[in-house]
Amino acid sequence: MPLDFDPIDEAAENWRSAGWAAVDAMSAATSITRAHQILSGRIDAALAPLGLNFSRFEVLALLSFTKEGELPLGKVGDRLQVHPASVTNTVNRLEADGFVVRKPHPTDRRTTLAALTTHGRRRVETAAAALAEIEFGVAGLSADGRRSVDAAILELRSAAGDFE
Amino acid sequence: MPLDFDPIDEAAENWRSAGWAAVDAMSAATSITRAHQILSGRIDAALAPLGLNFSRFEVLALLSFTKEGELPLGKVGDRLQVHPASVTNTVNRLEADGFVVRKPHPTDRRTTLAALTTHGRRRVETAAAALAEIEFGVAGLSADGRRSVDAAILELRSAAGDFE
DNA sequence: TCCGAATACTTTGACGTCCAAGTATTTGTG
DNA sequence: CACAAATACTTGGACGTCAAAGTATTCGGA
């Protein structure tokens, strides 16, 4: 049951009326938050039948891009920009489902590798196809829209010190 | 410790190399996810000293825009597009902190109203100023960027049936 | 009027994320 | 070579979100 008005637009009007500052910033932030909600709902729904969620999928995809199909847990966290505790948790689930196994690092005994299993490699292919099928939840966003979102957010991420 | 490359761009390259489909969609979805992470981190940090997080703030703001400063919990959920259980939880916290009180609906005994207290009204003003101060986390995003994000996401939300 | 369906909220439980603290191992420096 | 500091991961606790089930109340059609 959709509302018969745009709640974000409505909120912006209210902010303006209340004399609150930074209305455009508020609107952009709320839009991004809501977009994330929509995407993550769609993506998780597409992945659920495969026993995955987006985090778990991202880990499998990342591993599948490496030569050996394995990576230290710390590297996984760095690349995906998630907390070490989340990596532990995610890999626990993937391991319980047989998609990855933990292996000791050959030279550094502090380090643990997550290594893709055959099962995991098959599953990530299936999942990638399923996500492509639903266009990663961004169906409804034009090619121009996708490019401009990418470009704008690149500014934001760069300013936030995400890289370089 | 930022990476010395853009992890999203890196991911897009990997996807292309692996021959996976919908690379532009993947990139847009990942950008939005990461942007949300950045914003919510900044916003929650700004609100934490006030005993709020973004959800709690949104509820207070919404109430402050009404004539009487009160609204049925169900309406709150509709406007903010969050699950009823989350509304219950959020209002519990706000009530425990004295920012709102629950009141019975005058005519429908199924319904509960959340009503702003004086304390809550003062706090939401302070919080709004604090958020304006950090530009809702979107500092680093140009005016053009904000507009194009808004416009693009409006497409997405509209297609997702968010309203009208 | 009666009663099944709808509505409104709460409760419980499964997850997921982060922080802070704890353990193990390696690094770097005097 | 020793040992404090840094690194790598795990654990436990606080929170937040959602789905499903439960309770109370109101609505609407026979």
A17-39 pLDDT tens trace? 999 989 999 999 988 988 998 89
Phi-psi region of B60 (alpha: psi -120 to 50; beta: other; left: phi over 0): alpha
Tell me: pLDDT of A46 over 90: yes
Residues of chain B with pLDDT under 70: 1-3, 164
Give the pLDDT score at A159. 84
Report if CB B104 to strand C is under 7 Å.
Answer: no
pLDDT of A1 above 50: no
Which of B54, B64, B58 lies closest to B77, judged by CA? B58
Residue B136, min C-alpha distance to chain A (Å): 6
Does the distance separating the beta carbons of A149 and B28 come in below 8 Å? Answer: yes
Cβ pair A24:B142 closer than 8 A: no
- SS3 string of chain B? CCECCCHHHHHHHHHHHHCCCCHHHHHHHHHHHHHHHHHHHHHHHHHHHHCCCHHHHHHHHHHHCCCCCEEEHHHHHHHHCCCHHHHHHHHHHHHHCCCEEEEECCCCCCCEEEEECHHHHHHHHHHHHHHHHCHHHCCCCCHHHHHHHHHHHHHHHHHCCCEC
In chain A, which residues have their Cβ closer than 8 Å to the Cβ of B21? Answer: 128-129, 132
A87/A93 Cα distance (integer angstroms) = 10
The span from the CA of B50 to the CA of B36, in Å, is 21
Judge whether B31 is closer than 8 Å to chain A, CB to CB: yes
Q: Which residues lie below 8 Å from residue B119, measured CB to CB, with a gap of 6+? A: B98, B99
Does B112 contact A at CB distance below 8 Å? no
Cβ proximity of B77 and B83 under 8 Å: yes
Provide the β-strand partners of residue B103.
B113
Q: Alpha-carbon distance B9 to B19, whole Å?
A: 16
DSSP A48: G
Residue B2, pLDDT score: 57
Phi then psi for residue B112, to 5 deg, are -120, 135
B131 and A37 within 8 Å at the Cβ level: the answer is no
Question: Which positions on strand C lie below 7 Å from a protein C-beta?
Answer: 7-13, 15-20, 24-27
Mean pLDDT within A87-105: 97
Q: What is the largest CA-CA distance in chain A?
A: 63
What average pLDDT does this structure show over A35-57? 92
Tens digits of residue pLDDT in A101-131: 999 999 999 999 999 999 999 999 999 999 9
- Which pLDDT score, from 0 to 100, does residue B140 have? 85
Separation of first and last alpha carbons in chain B: 44
CA distance A29 to A40: 17
Chain A contact present for B24, CB below 8 A = yes
Whether the predicted model's global pTM rises above the 0.85 cut: yes
Residue found by looking up tokens 């209002």 in the block: B91
Paired sense of beta strands A112-116 and B70-72, if any: unpaired
Q: Give the whole-angstrom CA distance, residue A26 versus residue B133.
A: 11
Mean pLDDT of chain A: 92
What is the C-alpha separation between B67 and A20, in angstroms, rounded? 17
Q: Hey, of A3, A17, A32, which one would you mutate to test binding to chain B, going by the most B CBs within 10 A of its CB?
A: A32
Say whether the CB atom of B93 is under 7 angstroms from strand C: no
Nucleotide D12, nearest residue via CA and C1'? A85
Taking the Cβ of residue A13 and every Cβ of chain B, the question of whether any pair is shorter than 8 Å is answered with no
Measured between beta carbons, which residues in chain B are less than 8 angstroms from residue A156?
35, 38, 138, 140-141, 145
Which is more confidently placed, B34 or A1? B34
The pLDDT assigned to A3 comes to 66
Q: Does any CB of chain B come closer than 8 Å to the CB of residue A163?
A: yes
> A158 burial class (0-12, 13-18, 19+ CB within 10 angstroms)?
middle
Tell me whether B75 touches chain A (CB under 8 Å). Answer: no
Give the residue-averaged pLDDT of A44-59.
94
- Nucleotide closest to A41 measured between CA and C1': D18
Task: Determine the Cα–Cα distance for residues B12 and B24; give it in Å rounded to an integer.
Answer: 8
